[in-house]
Homo-oligomer: A and B are copies of this chain.
Amino acid sequence: MKILQYTEDHESFRMRMRGFLESEIMPYTDQWEKEHITPKWAWQKMGQAGFLCTAVPEEYGGLGGDFLYSVIAAEEMTRTNHTGLATMLHSDVVVPYIHTFGSNGQKQKYLPGCVSGDIITAIAMTEPDAGSDLASMTATAEQSGDWIVLNGSKTFISNGINADLVIVAAKNPAVDNPYESVSLYLVEAGTPGFNRGRQLEKMGFHSQDTAEMFFSNCRIPEENRLGNDGAGFYMLMEKLQQERLMTAIGGQAAAEYMLELTQKFCRETTDASGKPLSKQQAVMFALVEMATEVKIGRAFLDKLIAGHAAGEPEIVETSMAKYWITDLAKRISQKCLDLYGDYGFTEACPIARGFRDIRVMSIFAGTNEIMKQIAGKFMGL
């Protein structure tokens, strides 16, 4: 019994994308990991092949696909075992802000480039002293005639170096209520006063250009405000749902992929007596236990995906899925490594990168502690 009803079109999209990634992207990922950046041509190639922003309507060049296309794209990207080409963030987290809240002009100006991969996007929300606590944001946006002047710094911005267009959250200092003072702004690369800081060195996500951003009297035209003045907090709250769901999807796909690789390894590797590792009872049980948790996570997630696709957002369950599944993926990464013996110690082992990359999923898009807090609040506890 399947919870999600994928059509033949979906399946052929998945197969096309998988083939494309295997031939056009995966040969380069090791290099990008070393270079700590992913080249723009890769984004453009993805866009030209039709794998970016599947949800954007056809009038802007997109596929106009349903949510299952976004799910497929996210799952297939996970199987490339690298994070630099953060197309899920671009296609299904950042661009939807423009698509949902943008004016006609903004949509016409930016969406075609987002779809083609000529415009890489990022969202700048987190600040050095304000992680999950949006209310303590300090970046400011002040009106000055027809212009907005941005000041402040942002950190942990994925696609931070590559981004051509950044959605920046900033506060109007004249408004006291923190929930009514935040607005979102579209800032293009090259705007004077917008500077990128150093690329951050981190545990993993090496091909991903996470960076700091600084805004110093950065002037943008007022028409670059996204959505209503002061509505930023609510726009973020709305879109964070999908971001968290996408994170859970990425975590689930990663867990499934790592387990698939590890099962294969344990079936194919024999011990001194010629017996496959997978036939050692303790190894078999470990694989069964992991497979069980992965399948359980998948059932819960598919149910949520179906609800999300049908326009039934579930705040409590989305928060639960984000925390439980990203923690699951982390546990799977830790436990799979043990089955490889000393080989698991090396970066040559395919799980090694997952071990380092996945660790951040419990932290970003709202830490898992914040997820529990949100779930508790909305459960009325």
The residues in A between 363 and 381 inclusive whose CB is less than 8 angstroms from any CB of B are 369, 372-373, 375-376, 379-381
Is the Cβ of A372 less than 8 Å from the Cβ of B285? yes
A251 located at the interface, meaning its Cβ lies under 8 Å from any Cβ of chain B in the complex: no
Q: A324: which B residues are within 8 A, CB to CB?
A: 292-293, 296
The residues in A between 299 and 330 inclusive whose CB is less than 8 angstroms from any CB of B are 299-300, 302-304, 306-307, 310, 312, 317, 320, 323-324
Q: State in angstroms the CA–CA spacing of A300 and B307 once bound together.
A: 16
Q: State in angstroms the CA–CA spacing of A369 and B288 once bound together.
A: 11
Chain A: number of interface residues, binned into ranges: 35 or more
Residue of B nearest to A277 (CB): B381
A267 located at the interface, meaning its Cβ lies under 8 Å from any Cβ of chain B in the complex: yes
A279 located at the interface, meaning its Cβ lies under 8 Å from any Cβ of chain B in the complex: yes
Is the Cβ of A287 less than 8 Å from the Cβ of B320? no
Q: State in angstroms the CA–CA spacing of A279 and B98 once bound together.
A: 38
Q: A300: which B residues are within 8 A, CB to CB?
A: 295-296, 299-300
Q: A66: which B residues are within 8 A, CB to CB?
A: none
Is the Cβ of B288 less than 8 Å from the Cβ of A320? yes
Q: A306: which B residues are within 8 A, CB to CB?
A: 1
Residue of B nearest to A371 (CB): B288
A210 located at the interface, meaning its Cβ lies under 8 Å from any Cβ of chain B in the complex: no
The majority secondary structure among interface residues of chain A is: helix
Q: State in angstroms the CA–CA spacing of A372 and B299 once bound together.
A: 19
Q: Given the interface contacts A267-B381, A381-B279, does A291 sit within 8 Å of B375 by beta carbon?
A: yes
Interface centre among A285, A293, A296 (most CB of B within 10 A): A296
Q: A379: which B residues are within 8 A, CB to CB?
A: 287-288, 291
A381–chain B nearest beta-carbon distance, Å? 4
A297 located at the interface, meaning its Cβ lies under 8 Å from any Cβ of chain B in the complex: yes
Is the Cβ of B375 less than 8 Å from the Cβ of A292? yes
Residue of B nearest to A289 (CB): B372
Q: State in angstroms the CA–CA spacing of A306 and B291 once bound together.
A: 20
Q: A49: which B residues are within 8 A, CB to CB?
A: none
Is the Cβ of B307 less than 8 Å from the Cβ of A291? no
A235 located at the interface, meaning its Cβ lies under 8 Å from any Cβ of chain B in the complex: no
Residue of B nearest to A266 (CB): B381
The residues in A between 263 and 296 inclusive whose CB is less than 8 angstroms from any CB of B are 263, 266-267, 278-279, 281, 284-285, 287-289, 291-293, 295-296
A23–chain B nearest beta-carbon distance, Å? 30
Is the Cβ of B312 less than 8 Å from the Cβ of A295? no
Q: State in angstroms the CA–CA spacing of A296 and B304 once bound together.
A: 11
Residue of B nearest to A293 (CB): B324
Q: State in angstroms the CA–CA spacing of A291 and B380 once bound together.
A: 13
Q: A320: which B residues are within 8 A, CB to CB?
A: 288, 291-292, 295-296
Q: A289: which B residues are within 8 A, CB to CB?
A: 372
Residue of B nearest to A2 (CB): B303
A3 located at the interface, meaning its Cβ lies under 8 Å from any Cβ of chain B in the complex: yes
A281–chain B nearest beta-carbon distance, Å? 8
Q: State in angstroms the CA–CA spacing of A205 and B54 once bound together.
A: 55
A105–chain B nearest beta-carbon distance, Å? 36
Residue of B nearest to A380 (CB): B267
A68–chain B nearest beta-carbon distance, Å? 14
Q: A375: which B residues are within 8 A, CB to CB?
A: 288, 291-292
Given contacts A1-B304, A1-B310, A285-B373, 4 further A-B contacts (CB under 8 A): A267-B380, A285-B369, A288-B320, A292-B375
23 sampled A-B residue pairs with Cβ under 8 A:
A1-B304, A3-B303, A267-B380, A267-B381, A278-B381, A281-B373, A284-B381, A285-B369, A285-B372, A285-B373, A287-B376, A287-B381, A288-B320, A288-B376, A289-B372, A291-B379, A292-B320, A295-B317, A296-B299, A296-B300, A299-B299, A299-B302, A300-B300
